[in-house]
């Protein structure tokens, strides 16, 4: 009896009780709070899907079908994912207007909240690439040199060395990449719009996509300053060397000709 009360009055007893109480509260909170939050997220999500469905029925169903199954005027959207919608509608490609070799970029007619709702609805039709977060597409601190290598191997054959774009076959073209937002660059790689191949995370992981974005931004002078020198298509030191050869050698030849002409004249007189 004496022993017990002595232990109860141990200077650490109060601390132990406090810690136990805190742990219990934390445990209770952990058990209940996230459930509430998840539920709130779920309702918000289903609201977004409902709103998205309304927008879809008005603006997209005529070509993509009432349930996104596709028609002769537009492909099925089942499984294209929210990233494809965010890219297509966010760059003004969708809703398409007239048929043609390639659906062009136009003025964006939906605001970002509506685009998110459309994306939520289409994503609910079947799983596909998910719209990336700001953090996922942020190129700060990425490796520009590595991005350049990746770009030259995977993208330059269509978009040119610094992304100024180029013509493809049958009236199609790879657009210039200056001024395209990091999110839309990321989504283009995720989803491969029209004749562009897709670069899913299995072939090009998130960090490599960031490197590519950093490269595109840097060659377009959007993030780092132009390092100087002639751009000449941005081919780098090779083109600048070529410039020196052609004009430098040309000047030397011209001087040689001039000197020869003058010595010849001097001999005659």
Structure tokens of 192?
Answer: 């491969």
- The answer to whether residue 84 forms part of the interface with ligand HEC (CB under 6 A) is yes
Candidate ranges 3-11, 30-38, 69-77, 232-240; the one touching ligand HEC (CB under 6 A): 69-77
- The answer to whether residue 239 forms part of the interface with ligand HEC (CB under 6 A) is no
State which of positions 206-235 bind ligand HEC (CB under 6 A). 212
Q: How crowded is the C-beta side of 80, counted as CA atoms within 13 Å?
A: 25
State which of positions 165-204 bind ligand HEC (CB under 6 A). 168, 172, 174-175, 177, 180, 184-185, 188-189, 191, 193-197, 199
How many C-beta neighbours within 10 Å does residue 185 have?
22
Q: CA-CA distances (angstroms) from residue 48 to 122, 210, 265?
A: 11, 29, 88
Tell me the closest approach of the beta carbon of residue 133 to ligand HEC, in angstroms: 18
Is-contact 91 108, C-beta < 8 A? yes
Nearest-angstrom CA–CA distance, 219 and 161: 9
- The answer to whether residue 83 forms part of the interface with ligand HEC (CB under 6 A) is no
Using CB under 6 A as the binding criterion, the count of chain residues that bind ligand HEC stands at: 46
Nearest-angstrom CA–CA distance, 240 and 234: 9
Among 34, 67, 75, 200, binds ligand HEC (CB under 6 A): 75
State which of positions 14-43 bind ligand HEC (CB under 6 A). none
CB closer to ligand HEC, 45 vs 122: 122
Tell me the closest approach of the beta carbon of residue 134 to ligand HEC, in angstroms: 17
- The answer to whether residue 93 forms part of the interface with ligand HEC (CB under 6 A) is yes
Residues comprising the chain, all counted: 269
Among 77, 123, 142, 219, binds ligand HEC (CB under 6 A): 77
How many C-beta neighbours within 10 Å does residue 5 have?
8
Nearest-angstrom CA–CA distance, 177 and 165: 7
Sign, CA torsion 221/226/232/233: negative
Please report, as ranges, the residues that interact with ligand HEC according to CB under 6 A.
59-60, 62-64, 73-75, 77, 80, 84-85, 88-89, 91, 93-96, 102-103, 105, 118, 154-155, 157-159, 168, 172, 174-175, 177, 180, 184-185, 188-189, 191, 193-197, 199, 212
């Amino acid at each position: 009896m004496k022993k017990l009360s002595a232990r109860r009055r141990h200077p650490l007893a109060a601390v132990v009780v406090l810690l136990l109480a805190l742990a219990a509260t934390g445990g209770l909170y952990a058990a209940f709070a996230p459930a509430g939050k998840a539920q709130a997220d779920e309702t918000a999500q289903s609201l977004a899907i409902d709103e998205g469905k309304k927008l879809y029925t008005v603006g997209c169903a005529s070509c993509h079908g009432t349930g996104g199954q596709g028609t002769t005027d537009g492909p099925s959207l089942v499984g294209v994912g929210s990233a494809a919608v965010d890219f297509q509608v966010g760059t003004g490609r969708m809703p398409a207007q007239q048929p043609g070799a390639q659906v062009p970029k136009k003025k964006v007619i939906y605001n970002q909240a509506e685009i998110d709702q459309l994306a939520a609805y289409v994503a609910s039709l079947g799983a596909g690439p998910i719209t990336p977060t700001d953090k996922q597409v942020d190129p700060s601190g990425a490796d520009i040199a590595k991005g350049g290598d990746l770009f030259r191997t995977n993208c330059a054959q269509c978009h040119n060395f610094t992304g100024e774009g180029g013509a493809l076959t049958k009236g199609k073209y790879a657009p210039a990449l200056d001024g395209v937002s990091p999110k839309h660059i990321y989504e283009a790689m995720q989803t491969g719009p029209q004749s562009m191949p897709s670069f899913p995370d299995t072939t090009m992981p998130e960090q490599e996509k960031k490197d590519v974005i950093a490269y595109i931004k840097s060659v377009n002078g959007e993030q780092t300053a132009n390092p100087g020198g002639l751009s000449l298509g941005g081919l780098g030191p090779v083109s600048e060397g070529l410039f020196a050869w052609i004009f430098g050698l040309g000047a030397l030849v011209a001087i040689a000709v001039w000197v020869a002409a003058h010595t010849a004249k001097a001999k005659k007189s």
